Amino acid sequence: MAWSWFAFAPWVVEAHGGNKAAAARVLGIDRRTLHRKVEG
């Protein structure tokens, strides 16, 4: 089974204390994209 970044996105945000900008940098995606995937 292939994992994609959005499967780990909530965990990465939590690991960064809720800092979505830092989590997005780690995932290599734009902060707005991360926000859409985590919130929506």
Q: Which residues in 5-38 are b (16+ Cβ under 10 Å) and which e?
A: eeeebeebbeeeeeebeebbebbeeeeeebeebb
pLDDT band for position 27 (cuts 50, 70, 90): confident
**Structural domain count of the chain:** 1
For the record, the structure tokens of 17 come out as 């204390």
Question: Sign of the C-alpha dihedral, residues 13, 15, 16, 22?
Answer: negative
Whether 18 has a pLDDT exceeding 70, the answer reads: yes
Q: Over pLDDT 70: what percentage of the chain?
A: 88
- Give the domain extent around 35: 5-39
Q: Which of 15, 16, 17, 11 is nearest to 38 (CA)?
A: 11
Q: What is the DSSP letter of 40?
A: -
Region of poorest pLDDT, from 2-6, 18-22, 24-28: 2-6
Q: What is the pTM of this model?
A: 0.75
